[in-house]
Amino acid sequence: MNSTEYAWFLPTGRYGDGHTINAKTPERPPTVEYISEVARAAEDAGFVNLLVPTGTHCLDAWMITLAVAQRTERIKFCVAFRPGLSSPVLTAQQANTYDAVTGGRLTVNVVTGSTPVDQKRYGDHLDHAERYARTEEFLDVVKALWTSEEPVSYSGEYYRIENATLYARAVSKPHPTIFLGGSSEAGRRVGAKHADVHMMWAVAPEQVAEDAADMRRRAAEIGRDDLRFGLRLHIMCRESRKEARRAAEALLEDSALENTRMWADQRNRSESEGQRRMNELYEGGSPWLTDTLWMGVNKVRSGAAAMLVGTPDMLATALKEYVDLGVRNFILSGWPHLEEAEIFGREVMPLLKDTNPARLEPQTVA
């Protein structure tokens, strides 16, 4: 069996971390010290990567993770960024430098866009389809710079590059892993071409199987057989099923009304096909899609909404069901991220040995 990679999440948004989602005042603000503490807990728990979000509501992912890298040893960082907000050549240069100085600890999460509101805050006024077309060209350039020994020139609708070369070279080979999600037709087309890991928001296993089969077909049509599949979801692990459900529902209590309204507005105005699907699942009746898969988080935030809730055995069984469908990358999170990483590492990770979990190797800094 190919290795299965388990990753965690760094809560770098303005609402910080704590026992409630979207508290009015952050219980634990996203300081370098606290974020580093979460990262070390994830490293000790056996996670191999850390997703770091992007958007005007977050600390800059490149900068905060370089600070955290100095306070951790081996764990990698999945730095999220939005194509189009900077030159693809500059992004490749930043990525190469980052990867070199950290000894190969960079992976990237390519986020084509968010709501039109947040895109316009950055001065980006392209529509959904145009953003994906730009992402395709952006990654054409970046991957050429990552893999070519010759100067790179490119002429497209969005970028015209002449004889670009970079002094800094990435340590990761053939290049830092690219995580890219997309449920729309445009998103799937670009993902089939450029993603190393096609990311999905967790839904019922049969839907995941259908989506993975569609992406395998698309990748095969362009000669690819190396596309991996990943799931983004939250975790709530407790000794009993009843205790886990009670703890999950408690996360929604005391969420600040103004914060919840902001997330609801972002959730409902998003152009993301994946977000639309999350909304439909939440509004479809019971928030419980399966005995362990709960959609209640969608009530108070946008983005990843599904949470696995249950005992260690229940969670391990649910994760293995996705593994059996071909999922080999999991990006998990839970509130508070510090304690939940520790619980998962102690209670659930030992039950996942037969999924061949990836292990961190010592890094050599260039």
Mind listing the pLDDT tens digit for each residue in 42-87?
999 999 999 999 999 899 999 999 999 999 999 999 999 999 899 9
CATH number of the domain that 146 lies in?
Answer: 3.20.20.30
> Which tops the pLDDT comparison, 349 or 182?
349
Share of the chain above pLDDT 90, in %: 76
Model pLDDT, residue 274: 45
Looking at the domain assignment, is residue 362 inside a domain?
A: no
What is d(CA 307, CA 301) in angstroms, rounded to the nearest whole number? 13
Structure tokens at 192: 């089939």
Confidence grade of residue 365 (pLDDT, cut at 50, 70, 90): low
Give bridge partners of residue 125 from the DSSP assignment: none
pLDDT in tens, 82-102: 998 999 999 999 999 999 999
Q: Which domain holds residue 123?
A: 5-355
CA 106 to chain CA mean position, Å: 13
Looking at the domain assignment, is residue 361 inside a domain?
A: no
Structural domain count of the chain: 1
Residue 351 above 50 pLDDT?
yes
Looking at the domain assignment, is residue 264 inside a domain?
A: yes
Rounded to the nearest 5 degrees, what angle is found at the Cα of 286, between the Cα atoms of 300 and 279? 45
What is d(CA 88, CA 77) in angstroms, rounded to the nearest whole number? 20
Confidence grade of residue 116 (pLDDT, cut at 50, 70, 90): confident
Residue 115 above 50 pLDDT?
yes
Report the interhelical angle of 88-101 vs 128-147 (nearest 10°). Answer: 50
pLDDT in tens, 211-264: 999 999 999 999 999 999 999 999 999 999 999 999 999 999 877 655 555 545
What integer is the mean pLDDT of 27-34?
97
What is d(CA 264, CA 117) in angstroms, rounded to the nearest whole number? 13
Q: Which has the minimum average pLDDT: 118-122, 163-167, 273-277, 300-304?
A: 273-277
CA 176 to chain CA mean position, Å: 15
Alpha-carbon torsion, ordered 189, 193, 196, 198, to 10 deg = 10
Give bridge partners of residue 160 from the DSSP assignment: 155
Model pLDDT, residue 257: 53
Model pLDDT, residue 264: 55
Structure tokens at 322: 């996705």
Q: Which has the minimum average pLDDT: 152-156, 262-266, 308-312, 331-335?
A: 262-266
Structure tokens at 106: 């960079």
Looking at the domain assignment, is residue 50 inside a domain?
A: yes
Model pLDDT, residue 122: 78
Q: Is 320 exposed, middle or buried (0-12, 13-18, 19+ CB in 10 A)?
A: middle
Nearest CA-CA partner of 306 in 320, 318, 324: 318
Is there a contact between 259 and 24 (Cβ–Cβ < 8 Å)?
yes
From start to end of the chain, where are the E strands?
Answer: 5-9, 49-52, 76-81, 106-110, 152-155, 160-164, 178-181, 197-201, 228-237, 293-294, 307-310, 327-333
Pairing mode of beta strands 228-237, 327-333: parallel
Structure tokens at 299: 């009530």
Model pLDDT, residue 84: 87
Amino acid at 48: V
Name the 3-class secondary structure at 237: strand
CA 325 to chain CA mean position, Å: 19
Looking at the domain assignment, is residue 364 inside a domain?
A: no
Looking at the domain assignment, is residue 363 inside a domain?
A: no
Looking at the domain assignment, is residue 134 inside a domain?
A: yes
Is there a contact between 49 and 79 (Cβ–Cβ < 8 Å)?
no
Structure tokens at 126: 């392209």
Confidence grade of residue 269 (pLDDT, cut at 50, 70, 90): low
Residue 314 above 80 pLDDT?
yes
What integer is the mean pLDDT of 254-280?
54
What integer is the mean pLDDT of 317-336?
97
Looking at the domain assignment, is residue 366 inside a domain?
A: no
Model pLDDT, residue 275: 45
Rounded to the nearest 5 degrees, what angle is found at the Cα of 197, between the Cα atoms of 85 and 128? 40
Q: How far is CA 360 from CA 105, 170, 268, in A?
A: 10, 18, 39
